Structure 1
Amino acid sequence: MTDLVVELTGCGGPEKLVVSELGGLAPAKGEIVVRQEAIGMNFVDIYHRIGTYSLPAFPAVIGVEAAGRVEAVGEGVDGFSVGDRVAYAATIGAYASARRLPAGRAIRLPDAISSSTATASLLKGMTAYMLLHKTYPVAAGTTVLVHAAAGGLGQILVRWAKHLGATVIGTVGSLEKAELARTAGVDHLVIGRDADIVSEVKARTDGRGVDIAYDGIGGDMLARTLQCVRPFGTAASLGRASGPIPPIEIDMLRPGKFLCQPSIMAYSVDVANYRDAAEAAIAAMKHGIVSTVAAEFPLAQVSEAHAVLESGRLAGSPLLIP
């Protein structure tokens, strides 16, 4: 089977993703070569493709997580051998059959966790760890709002927040997605894109509002999310799946609401943070805190896969299979 690499040739639509043959790889000092078995797809990939998040140069290889086996070990690398199962996340360059990877970004994968589960869940699990433990400390008695609760990140946030003892209000766009959110463990559901989310949340919190809200929808949703947060509570803006976010008036933060924009990519630049979050995500997977695999696409069909991901039709995490 021919090894493939996907190169982004410029900002734009899925047609900017060009598949070509991958040449042989040899690890540099401090690197390993990973033969990839599953590659994660995330909205950050779309943001890289359309230019929301800039890249240093084109062509570029996007994608930030995958799992597979060590195929070669470079000079100065300790702790890894050929054949070891590993995963990584928050590290660009994943859209390929194999890749060179700094050994410090490789996380050993337990036999009990499949490559598909790890790839569907690692970046999102790291993000959930950052949000639940660093952005706002979620614990028993905390009430959280999770938008897109049937999505890949949403499912993990719901499961992990429930594991911590929180009460979870989730939103979903359809009855089909509602069932996935219920399976993840939401306590209360708001269903429908046109639902009066603010009134629904206030009704479920006796008018108080939630302690922390996670909004990856963007667009005009963030303003409504802020209205769902209690005084001195927090809203975390995670993405812009529905489009750009209009300007937020400072008065919308009265009385003392907090708005933040945490980024797992920025958080993971520090190697200690990266490994802490990754190990926490792996440990959470052992407790069943995972995202379902929404669909699998051959790597050669990456353009079609991007179009489906961008449509918002999927619930869970889509994968590319080399």
Structure 2
Amino acid sequence: MPKAIRIHAHGGPEVLTYEDADPGRPGAGQVLIRHTAIGLNFIDVYHRSGLYPPPGGFPLIPGGEAAGVVLSVGADVDWLKAGDRIAYAVNVGAYAEQRVIAADRVVKVPDGISDEQAAGMMLKGMTAEYLLRRTFKVKAGDTILFHAAAGGVGLILGQWAKHLGVTVIGTASSADKIELAKAHGFDHVINY
């Protein structure tokens, strides 16, 4: 039986339980995935601690992003097959060995990107895309300021913005983080 980490009530790390979790079989438009890596995000802590309500209530399998291998596909899924490497970012449910998920929520992982990289960058990459292309569509010649330049979103955003021809200013809290941000596209970094 596959296992998952669940929470049944708000609290500290002690409320995380390791339990049997039958993912079921994929229905129409769904895939069954075996996870090989999961991403960890602060929102997982927020769901556990009670800062954010658990989507769908308790019990909850936390985790919003992961990578893995397709085990089987449901009806009407013709672009994925067993053995395909995939990654996704959704609301919750990634802290499991296996899960069923809508096929339209996953992307294929290309060669050259590890499962760990894919699992850890999906939500952060979507956040960077939202900031650079939707909140304010940056273009060559723009100058932007980004706080927490050495964090996961910042490292992706810095490289992307630099590629777009943007002058990128960041903030960071240590000399090591400043150097990391500069190595990932930031032109100037302010040590706060």
- TM-score, normalised relative to structure 1: 0.56
Please state if 1:20 is matched with 2:19. yes
Aligned to 1:180: 180
Q: Distance in 1 between matches of 2:146 and 2:23?
A: 44
8 Å Cα contact 2:68/2:115 also seen in 1:
yes
1:8, CA displacement in angstroms? Answer: 1.5
* Alpha-carbon spacing, 1:24–1:47, altered in 2? closer, same or farther (3 Å): closer
1:77, CA displacement in angstroms? Answer: 2.1
* Alpha-carbon spacing, 1:129–1:24, altered in 2? closer, same or farther (3 Å): closer
1:181-220 per-residue CA deviation (whole Å, 9 max, x = no partner) reads 121121111113xxxxxxxxxxxxxxxxxxxxxxxxxxxx
Q: Distance in 1 between matches of 2:189 and 2:109?
A: 34
Matched position secondary structure for 2:76? coil
Please state if 1:4 is matched with 2:39. no
Matched position secondary structure for 2:180? helix
Q: Which has the larger radius of gyration?
A: 1
Q: Distance in 2 between matches of 1:168 and 1:42?
A: 24
Matched position secondary structure for 1:155? helix
Q: How does 1:43-54 map to 2 (within 5 A)?
A: 43-54=42-53
Matched position secondary structure for 1:28? coil
* Alpha-carbon spacing, 1:144–1:126, altered in 2? closer, same or farther (3 Å): same
Q: How does 1:1-322 map to 2 (within 5 A)?
A: 3-23=2-22, 25-55=24-54, 56-192=56-192
1:91, CA displacement in angstroms? Answer: 3.6
Matched position secondary structure for 1:107? strand
1:258-281 per-residue CA deviation (whole Å, 9 max, x = no partner) reads xxxxxxxxxxxxxxxxxxxxxxxx
Q: Distance in 2 between matches of 1:52 and 1:141?
A: 39
8 Å Cα contact 2:39/2:63 also seen in 1:
yes
Q: Distance in 2 between matches of 1:188 and 1:82?
A: 46
Letter of the aligned partner of 2:10 in structure 1?
C
8 Å Cα contact 1:87/1:106 also seen in 2:
yes
Matched position secondary structure for 2:190? strand
Higher helix share: 1
Q: Distance in 2 between matches of 1:43 and 1:160?
A: 23
Matched position secondary structure for 2:160? helix
Q: Distance in 1 between matches of 2:181 and 2:51?
A: 29
- TM-score, normalised relative to structure 2: 0.92
1:24, CA displacement in angstroms? Answer: 5.9
1:136, CA displacement in angstroms? Answer: 0.2
Q: Distance in 2 between matches of 1:100 and 1:91?
A: 13
Matched position secondary structure for 1:87? strand
Letter of the aligned partner of 1:138 in structure 2?
V
Matched position secondary structure for 1:148? coil
Q: Distance in 1 between matches of 2:46 and 2:138?
A: 28
Letter of the aligned partner of 1:50 in structure 2?
S
Q: Distance in 1 between matches of 2:3 and 2:154?
A: 31
Which consecutive unaligned segments of at least 5 residues does structure 2 have?
none
8 Å Cα contact 2:61/2:94 also seen in 1:
yes
Q: Distance in 1 between matches of 2:172 and 2:160?
A: 18
8 Å Cα contact 1:63/1:93 also seen in 2:
yes
Matched position secondary structure for 1:168? strand
8 Å Cα contact 1:5/1:21 also seen in 2:
yes
8 Å Cα contact 1:91/1:105 also seen in 2:
no
1:50, CA displacement in angstroms? Answer: 2.1
Root-mean-square deviation (Å): 1.6
User: Aligned pairs, how many?
Assistant: 191
Matched position secondary structure for 1:29? coil
Query: Identity over the aligned pairs, expressed in percent?
Result: 48
